[in-house]
Amino acid sequence: MFKYIGKRILMMIPVVLGISFIIFTILALTPGDPAQMILGENASLEAIEELREEMGLNENFLFRYVKYIGGAVTFHFGDSYRTGLPVVEEILTRLPNTLALAFFGIGLSVVIGVPIGIISAVKQYSVFDTVSLGLALIMTSIPAFWLGLMLLLLFALKLGWFPAIGITDWTGFILPSVTLAIGSMATMIRMTRSTMLEVIREDYIRTARAKGAGEGRIIRRHELRNALLPIITIIGINFGLQMGGAMICETVFSIPGMGSLMITSVRQKDVPMVMASVLFVAVAISLINLLIDILYAFIDPRIKSQYVKASR
């Protein structure tokens, strides 16, 4: 088991290096000059050239990349072109908001979506199933920015229950979380339903019924337990994606998270900030995937036994 985890962590190194190289290349090759961006359209050519020299932008591309990676391995990710402050500081102030939003959003979609999916599967083709299918279709079709604005109009402006901007306290998280949750809830419902349906047709379910197990026990112990793997995977993938921030949601609700940070940085050609954010997201997604794989072992004894065999 530990050998496996160690191997997986080592495998992250080439992945992260590869990603860093691709992003660095894209940022270097796409048109646009960070120095020009900082100084604006009123700058003279001399001023731009001077700043390019100062920022080391005139050096060879590969040299700059190696220099960057050299800094990154010692956790020196540089200073932002835009603010002049260390990028790590900026990411650390944004991260809690992104984490909280991801927890709330995905938590909400799990707490509501999974039970709906289970009931839909158990009562297949019932009215409930049809309604949930319709709901899922609507939820997945609604654009997040529209939903966000509608929620703002209703709950912030008409009813005045929640603040329209910012996240000064927990009430500020509710509308963005709902917006996020509705986007991913449809997947959650449909995924739960279809995997449950697969499991329901298995022989061991019939066996369990035949030996007289109660319906509730069958659903929880035999069906859900076996249907859990794909659901966990979806949760993990969603959570990983959220580390890059929910850009639209963050923009509509003015939340200072990773998404808005990355958007601003890309627009401003703030190379150190983009690099550090992307690397962070890459590492976070890799770690979450690893965590899910480990979770598999705890949920599914068959997978656990594979690890044990492999380590022998």
Partner 1 sequence: MKNTRWRGGFLSILMAFAMLLAFAGCSSSGGGSDGKNASTAGGAVSDGKESVILAITGEPSSLDSADANDLNTFSIQCNLYDGLIRQEKDGSLVPGLAESWSYNDDKTEITFTLRQGVVFHNGDPMTADDVVYSFERALASSATARITASMEKMEKVDDSHVKLTLKYAYGPIESCLANVNCSIVSKAAVEADAKGFARNPVGTGPYKFSSWDSGSKIVFTANEDYFRDAAAIKTLTYQLVTDTSAALIALESGDVDMIVSTQAADRENIKNNSNLFYDEVSASSFYFVAFNNTKGLFAENPLLRQAVAHAIDREACLLGAVEGVGVECPSPIPAPCFGCPEGFEGAAYDPDLAKQLLAEAGYPDGVTITIKTMESGVYAKVTEIVAEQLRQVGITANIEPMERTAFLSDVYTNCEYEICVNSYTALNPDADFIMYMRYHSDYLGGGNNFVMVNNPELDGYLETGRTSSDDAERKTAYLNACELMKKEAVMVPILSTMNGVACQANLKGVTANTSQKQYVYDYYWE
Minimum distance of partner 1 from residue 254's CB (angstroms): 5
**CA–CA distance, 11 with 34 (Å, rounded to integer):** 33
Handedness of CA 191, 197, 198, 199 (dihedral sign): positive
Q: Is 298 in the site for partner 1 (CB under 8 A)?
A: no
Q: Which is nearer to partner 1, 125 or 298 (CB)?
A: 298
Minimum distance of partner 1 from residue 307's CB (angstroms): 23
| Widest distance between CA atoms in the chain | 85
Q: Is 39 in the site for partner 1 (CB under 8 A)?
A: yes
Q: Is 25 in the site for partner 1 (CB under 8 A)?
A: no
Minimum distance of partner 1 from residue 38's CB (angstroms): 8
Q: How far is CA 253 from CA 141, 152, 172, 211, 267, in A?
A: 20, 8, 9, 54, 20
Minimum distance of partner 1 from residue 40's CB (angstroms): 5
Q: Which is nearer to partner 1, 58 or 311 (CB)?
A: 58
* Among the residue ranges 9-17, 236-244, 251-259, 294-302, the one whose residues contact partner 1 (CB under 8 A): 251-259
* Among the residue ranges 4-12, 129-137, 257-265, 283-291, the one whose residues contact partner 1 (CB under 8 A): 257-265
Q: Which of residues 133-172 bind partner 1 (CB under 8 A)?
A: 145, 148-149, 152-153, 156-157, 160, 163-170, 172
Q: Which of residues 198-237 bind partner 1 (CB under 8 A)?
A: 214, 216-217, 220-221
**CA–CA distance, 302 with 307 (Å, rounded to integer):** 9
Contact 232, 295 (CB under 8 A): yes
Determine the size of the site formed for partner 1 (CB under 8 A): 68
**CA–CA distance, 203 with 187 (Å, rounded to integer):** 27
Q: Is 96 in the site for partner 1 (CB under 8 A)?
A: yes
**CA–CA distance, 87 with 77 (Å, rounded to integer):** 6
Contact 98, 259 (CB under 8 A): yes
Q: Is 21 in the site for partner 1 (CB under 8 A)?
A: no
Q: Is 260 in the site for partner 1 (CB under 8 A)?
A: yes
Helix (H) or strand (E) run with residue 51 in it:
helix 45-55
79 DSSP β-pair partners: 86
* Among the residue ranges 17-25, 102-110, 187-195, 295-303, the one whose residues contact partner 1 (CB under 8 A): 102-110
Both structure tokens of 253: 């609700």
Q: Is 280 in the site for partner 1 (CB under 8 A)?
A: no
Both structure tokens of 116: 């709906």
**CA–CA distance, 266 with 205 (Å, rounded to integer):** 52
Q: Let me know the angle formed at the C-alpha of 205 by 199 and 206, rounded to the nearest 5 degrees.
A: 130
Q: Is 291 in the site for partner 1 (CB under 8 A)?
A: no
Question: Which residue bears the tokens 């050299």?
Answer: 70
Residues at the interface with partner 1 (CB under 8 A): 30-33, 36-48, 50-51, 82-85, 90, 93-94, 96-97, 100, 103-104, 107, 111, 145, 148-149, 152-153, 156-157, 160, 163-170, 172-173, 214, 216-217, 220-221, 250-254, 256-257, 260-261, 264, 267, 269
